[in-house]
Structures are given as C-alpha cells and as structure tokens.
A and B are shown apart, each in its own frame.
Chain A
Amino acid sequence: DADVTQTPRNRITKTGKRIMLECSQTKGHDRMYWYRQDPGLGLQLIYYSFDVKDINKGEISDGYSVSRQAQAKFSLSLESAIPNQTALYFCATSDLNGNGYTFGSGTRLTVV
C-alpha cells in the first residue's frame, strides 16, 4: 500500500457541485499539505496542517476548505466547484521538521 493515498484518482464534476478529495497516510507524519498544480506549472499550496488542531491557509485557499479528521487523514473540499479549479491536486506529508516529504499520486479534477 502507498504511504500517502489519495482518493479519487480522477473526478469530473459539474460547476456548483460540492466535492471532497480525501488523503490518508501511513507515514506517521504530523504535517499534511494540499497542493494544486495547474497544467505546465509548479505546485501552489492550498492549505496545510501541522497537527490535528492546527490548520493554516496557503497561498491559494479561496474557494477551498479542509478538515483534519485524525493525524492520518486530511481532506480537501471545494464548496462550489468552478471550472478554473480544474487541476491536479496533491496531498503531501512531512515530519515535524519538514523532512521526509512524501506525495500522494494526485487527483485529477475536472470541473465542467
């Protein structure tokens, strides 16, 4: 099993729908992150969490929300999806010192 698992792997949804992307990890890491990657570009940070009670906005948090249900689970929600949120979404984890970065396989989201 992968250390960081993202579900679903691919999703097509309609404008205005609420959608949740799930991430779970077996690394035992405290820190978890959600990144977004637009075609041909680098990654941008949406939200990050240093522990279950600590949630922080990244550089592009508008239109997104997160929930850290447990140390191992960090979900990302799009409350009302819009077409420019079509992107590849990555979940990642790291230890307390920011080391051991591990990425999930990504979720390709298409909003039509």
Chain B
Amino acid sequence: AQKITQTQPGMFVQEKEAVTLDCTYDTSDPSYGLFWYKQPSSGEMIFLIYQGSYDQQNATEGRYSLNFQKARKSANLVISASQLGDSAMYFCAWPRGQLIWGAGTKLIIKP
C-alpha cells in the first residue's frame, strides 16, 4: 500500500534553532508531490509549502524549505530560525486525488 510516514511523533527544539521534520513516502508512482501543513492548537489547517516531483529546485517559502531527496524517498520540512509560534502539529500529505496524510509531528519550541 502506498503511504506517507512521519517518524517523529514529537520534537522539542530551542527557540531560534533550525528544525527538520521528516517525511518519507512509499510509492512507485513518479508523478507525485508533497504538501506540508501546520495545525496550531486552534485546529485550523494551514498550508506551508508544496513541491512537485519534477521541480528541479527545492521549494522555499520564507522560513520554510522542503528538502526533497528522491533517492531516499523523503521530503523533509526545514524551518529556519524557529519561533515560539512555530509550536504546532505538522503534517505532510501526498496528493493522490485526495490527500494521503502522515500521522503528524508535534513540534514544541522552547524559549
């Protein structure tokens, strides 16, 4: 079965440090991309970043970047200079008509 795996249930990171959140995918389908979403305690789902599999360069959106490594089948989210407001659940998701979701990583930024 094709699936998305997030191996880090929770992470504690010191404020201002960089964070890497892992996401691996298990698919033989080359026509894929990956989404990352942030879900704060208020519950809404906030789109962070997307990269298509054929994109030549890793996507970047402000402090967020996506480290896509096809050989490892991973699409990790990197948050630079973490802030207290980054504390939230983070989900990666794979678009296959509907989205297939990872289980999420709970990120807590320590002051």
Interface residues of A (CB under 8 A from B): 31, 33, 40-45, 48, 50, 58, 88, 90, 92, 94, 98-99, 101-103, 105-106, 108
Contacts and interface: CB of A to CB of B under 8 A. Distances in A.
Instruction: Choose among B91, B96, B97, B98 the residue with the greatest number of A CB atoms under 10 Å from its CB.
Output: B98
Classify chain B's interface size: 10 to 19
B64 interface: no
Contacts of B97: 31, 48, 50, 98
B84 interface: no
B104 A103 contact: no
A48 B91 CA distance: 20
B104 A101 contact: no
Nearest to B99: A101
